[in-house]
A and B are shown apart, each in its own frame.
Chain A
Amino acid sequence: MNLFCIGLSHHTANVGTREQFAGNATAKSIARQAGCAEALLLTTCNRVEVYAVSDKRISTDEIARCLIAETNPDPDNYAPPFYRYEDNKCVQHLFRVASGLDSMVVGESEIFGQAKKAYESARTSGAVGPYLHRLFQRAFRVAKQVRTHTDITRGAVSVGSVAVELAQRIFGKLSECKVLVLGAGETSERTTRALVSRGVTDLRVSNRSLDRARELAQAVGGRAVPFDDWTTQCREIDILLTSTASETPLLTSEILAPMLWQRLDRSLFIIDVAVPRDVDPSVNEMEGVYLYDIDSIRSVAEQSLALRRQQVAAAEAIIADHVTEFLDSISRGLNRLSKTTEHSSLGENPLRASEL
């Protein structure tokens, strides 16, 4: 049996090229057209990959022809940078993909769900047989183990997720936190939604335009607060998210100091995504106040990415162990099969291969 993977990814092709090969074929159609015993198609925004098992060698061009979109103006004229992995390389590649090591953002876990979905789709259509079944089940196991035993998925890498993660590091459960959103821009809306998704319920929105504040408040399930009243809110709130277009800092140590006396036992987390900044940097020096501007949030995101990269070697070691183990189990299965075939004198039965 020949196990192989043919595909395009963000490493080798730009989005325009990937588009030409995404969305047209199905695992079943590839198996039928290319003559594969088993096939599975994994399509995400960053990759188009075919995993297949066949008795004879199937060329990369044949698979590419199966994948190419019907809308392609010139289907015969393509030289896309397809890569091809066979046998152990293919197993290793799949394990790396499922674990997020091959992703654009190392350690992202979305690919795990996408791989599961692709597997389910192919299984339902009957394109997946026992070989790919075992391969993908093992890949899911490996991905889980990598996530559990390394810090590859640790740390947030976007503004919204960094803000949420830091808030959780300070307050634990966000459901009891009071949040004030100052300025109703796009970034603050995204960050607010991220906070709401983690359980924030007490949400106040303040903006120079009260109508815009009401609009955002309604969209995220909060209440609008007049812009003139926002400073007094600082006595009660736990998280302040600012993104106004003010040219000068709106919040300074002098404004905040009297309010902090009334809330000595509680922390105040300030996320300032405005440029120029809404909050004077000296505020971070105040006790119990944690100020993060857009640069420090980006710095945290970069630290998270660096931390994830540090974990790659540990993840690769786990994957290498599983690749060896998986190939051993497959070869043991093949040996058993050949012995059974010799003794049973039933001749070559392709169905036997399915017992692998």
Chain B
Amino acid sequence: MASSRFAHPSRRLPALLLLGLGVALAAPQAKAAGTLNVLTWCDHEDPTLLQPFEAANGVKVNFKDIGSTADALAILGQSKPGDWDVIVLDETDTGRLERMGLLAPLDRADYPFATIPAAIANPKLTSVDGTLYTVPEKFGYNTVAFNTSAVSPTAMANIQAPWDPKYKGRVAVYDYYVPEIQYAALALGMNPDKITPAEFPALKTKLLALKANAAMVGDVTTVQQALTTGAVDILVGGGEWVTAGIQADSPNLTYTIPSQGGIRWQQGLGIFAASKDKPLGVKFIQYILSPVGQAKLATSSCYWGMPANTQAALTPAQKADLRWDNQPTYIKDSYPYIQMTPTLDKQLQALWAEVMQGK
């Protein structure tokens, strides 16, 4: 149960203290009728995305920006059950949130699964024990983004390229350890879906070599800035989320999936088990999965990504920027984020810390 996380005897005092402060700061001021409360990433916050849904349903979407599922859990810990209706999440966390009792089961028939590629609709990411809990809405890649005026697309088609000494000091590495470790696993010919501690030494060596060739390892903002300003030419871990939205200003920036494959991120929508307005949550997900909603979400001002629904109403130019025609191959050649447990996550974090501290 979700509440068990916050009801452990040793946590009652902190929970009480946090509740007073947190409810005031984070939770919706009041669960007004006709309001849908959504914990969302920045790409769902454009008025042009939300207003058609609000107008069609006569409701207000009250959103709270989160950067990760951990942020959402922190906010939930400070809110009353039922304060929040819908969550946008990294779909590798579907099982984790379901085990905590936070997600409501969904009816597959309510959503356009017929037009979502089978690999994206993968039950491993969306379901637990055959029950659907999240609906995929957007995906993309953590592979390699680069500046075509400095490096050749042919060279970048080889996953080993960022390790090439001729690019020393021209490489940036995105600091999210999960896709980076999986990407290094791919480069070593390992299965990135099944990383085990026995493979950590080889992964560490490979990642240390990447770090030695890199100018920097940084967060989203830092690596994006480095690539767009020309401080680096190659971004390992980059993808359409870095390059597609800025094609008009930076047509020389692009991304690819190397012949050896890449890593795929995927976000989805779920409804909280404690939501007091699940039917409205269902309508919201249906709207986001509609061709119009998908087009607006895919081209969000925050970051672009591939819409899960192949019927998304994108323009030919937008499709070109997203490498629409390459998607069947890209999906086939990419692996979703590894299914995480707290133990594996601690192990991967420790491995990443060892790489960052290593010379």
Chain A bound to chain B: no
Interface set of B (CB-CB < 8 Å, partner A): none
